Structure 1
């Protein structure tokens, strides 16, 4: 099998392109405001420069300002600055919005920075080269060509910031649960259960499920889970107020009251909550599960290590988010291969900008 690096374009990464733009006084513009733009401004400062201007979609341009800049429309910005490098500063899962981003990319040089959701190192060329062996080994673990294509496209995107490989890594109509033999499920653990949205989808796919253990650390989300439990008649829903990791204890949660509450990254939206920390093995106490889903905002690796006994004994199917940290793309497949030797690994991604919604799917060897 050829090296995954051999298929990557030999050109400067996005950091180098931005530094080059600053050196030659090429304007760097922000498309979007808010938290994403704040992160981008801080990143640009670390690279030795600052944006020349800011614009938003026409429907959001109301004469406001952002960080001292007048917020323009795309037409106003592209008329004012010649040959800018435009950095996208917001996320979207909406196909119509993504279509408009594609249209803008045909008018200017647009890049999509990929900041790790849970913080930590940026996936630039230096990061990739420092983890080259791990990246190569993870690439060889995937069980089908499409997974390797997704992996390679994501590497190309993370280094270049280009929209095309990012979009090519997504799967139209992709439904993660359908990959994991839902007819076999009876007991499920849903880590990062939010308001029960995944539990509802699981029961839509697998009517024979009897029990779902829904683990959620955010207090507001947990209250939503309690309400969902009282309404759900298809299976027993057991909400658990805890974060998942590799050791039992307590921790500070940066709680956002939505899908983004995390143990690792404070934001202006978050409030601090002291929460209990559990492991999968402790919660199950020797009981088996048929599916383990983990979307725990950067704690996926620790949560998997805390499920070591369950994975070895019961060999459940797994659905694991693999995008909250830069290293998740390669570190989580390597960890699953260690904890579940012989399992079949797949990588898929739902349509989203930037590179969120990356799913690592694992099937035990008897499902092959």
Structure 2
């Protein structure tokens, strides 16, 4: 398949744009997009925020205004660049409503530092992308794959909406958890994905093993688990890795805490070491770009038990096609699925292996 034929690059389009370009949002995403603008010679004309956050503060030298003030200055014939991420339904509706009136794009920048998903990237990875696409087990997975390519190239939100599905579809049709699950949760955060599993098993489980490196998130996880679940529960304040070691870790008290070149020294553990041969029937990984290392650290478990897998496949530009190839090499018996759950940009795009 010629993946390059699916859409035009949003970056090239913005380079050629003659209308004013206004960024919607501040923070890490906007930082990354403006860095690419500078690299590619793209000029932003304004930055605006939702009305409750527009206080006239400065961001990269721009006075952050309301959309109405931005339009009053630049006119309605503008290009709006969404520069933040959200899964909240009310925020997504605001984003989609902008499309009804303006030319809106949401350029894809990787969560973890790495190459952009542009034409050169697609040319370099065409063969891998084709092999991953051919491995997918159902039509929806293949549509998610193509829409992910289309979105990452074009920045058009319509592609995210076209093939999205909710978590109920995954849990009822693919994962189908039971009361006998031995659940391993890598990147357990505050216990949200443990609660998610228990919602579908009427609160029952065989065992839970959870790793979370961030100290404040781990404290919340421990407090919640102590108050709400009993049984075979093992909580480990550590990050998931390919071996037991110590790494520097950003201490951001949230989902984007990750291994870094600087930060707080943090214990890292291989799941195989933590479990020491104990069973695992359902394994979830959302480890902020360290999925390859976490998979390597769970290799024995995956080969021996073939647990159902739920793996974040969006932190790096290549995750949605390289992680399926990696899992297939470890356990060829798996049926592989991709699903995108409501989010802008293409976050919460996950690989499921059954």
Query: TM-score if structure 1 supplies the norm length?
Result: 0.90
> 2:67 matched to 1:71?
no
Gapped runs of 5+ residues in structure 1? Answer: 267-271, 364-368
- 1:26-59 Cα distance to aligned partner (Å, 9 max, x none): 3221111222222221111011243111112233
Equivalent residue runs for 1:100-249 within 5 Å: 100-172=94-166, 174=168, 176-178=170-172, 179-183=174-178, 185-206=180-201, 207-249=203-245
Name the CA distance, whole Å, in 1 between partners of 2:74 and 2:13: 18
- 1:225-272 Cα distance to aligned partner (Å, 9 max, x none): 221232133433211111112122110111211121111487xxxxx2
8 Å CA contact 2:4–2:123 kept in 1: the answer is no
8 Å CA contact 1:185–1:208 kept in 2: the answer is yes
8 Å CA contact 1:253–1:274 kept in 2: the answer is yes
Equivalent residue runs for 1:16-95 within 5 Å: 16-21=12-17, 25-82=18-75, 83-95=77-89
Name the CA distance, whole Å, in 2 between partners of 1:233 and 1:70: 48
Name the CA distance, whole Å, in 2 between partners of 1:224 and 1:121: 34
1:314 offset after TM fit, Å? 0.9
User: Judging changes above 3 Å, is the alpha-carbon distance between structure 1 residues 209 and 70 closer, same or farther for their aligned structure 2 residues?
Assistant: same
Question: Match for residue 281 of structure 2?
Answer: 290
SS at match of 2:352: strand
8 Å CA contact 1:119–1:265 kept in 2: the answer is no
Name which of 249, 253, 256 aligns with 2:249: 253
Point out the more displaced range, 328-337 or 280-289.
280-289
8 Å CA contact 1:4–1:152 kept in 2: the answer is no
> 2:16 matched to 1:5?
no
1:177 offset after TM fit, Å? 3.5
How many residue pairs match? The answer is 351
Name the CA distance, whole Å, in 2 between partners of 1:297 and 1:219: 16
> 2:259 matched to 1:263?
yes
8 Å CA contact 1:4–1:136 kept in 2: the answer is no
Question: Match for residue 91 of structure 2?
Answer: 97
1:6 offset after TM fit, Å? 7.6
Name the CA distance, whole Å, in 2 between partners of 1:37 and 1:261: 18
SS at match of 1:43: helix
Name the CA distance, whole Å, in 1 between partners of 2:179 and 2:32: 43
Question: Match for residue 269 of structure 1?
Answer: none
Question: Match for residue 316 of structure 2?
Answer: 325
- 1:65-114 Cα distance to aligned partner (Å, 9 max, x none): 32322222223323432532221111111222211211212222111011
1:353 offset after TM fit, Å? 0.7
Gapped runs of 5+ residues in structure 2? Answer: none
Name the CA distance, whole Å, in 1 between partners of 2:183 and 2:276: 14
8 Å CA contact 2:177–2:200 kept in 1: the answer is yes
Name the CA distance, whole Å, in 2 between partners of 1:39 and 1:221: 25
User: Judging changes above 3 Å, is the alpha-carbon distance between structure 1 residues 184 and 141 closer, same or farther for their aligned structure 2 residues?
Assistant: farther
Name the CA distance, whole Å, in 2 between partners of 1:248 and 1:63: 48
Question: Match for residue 340 of structure 2?
Answer: 349
- 1:129-185 Cα distance to aligned partner (Å, 9 max, x none): 100000111011111000100110010000001111122232146454332121264
Point out the more displaced range, 77-86 or 222-231.
77-86
RMSD: 1.9
8 Å CA contact 2:184–2:284 kept in 1: the answer is yes
Name the CA distance, whole Å, in 2 between partners of 1:193 and 1:172: 20
Point out the more displaced range, 93-102 or 178-187.
178-187
Point out the more displaced range, 237-246 or 257-266.
257-266
Question: Match for residue 366 of structure 1?
Answer: none
Name the CA distance, whole Å, in 2 between partners of 1:338 and 1:297: 22
8 Å CA contact 1:203–1:234 kept in 2: the answer is no
Name which of 313, 323, 331 aligns with 1:340: 331
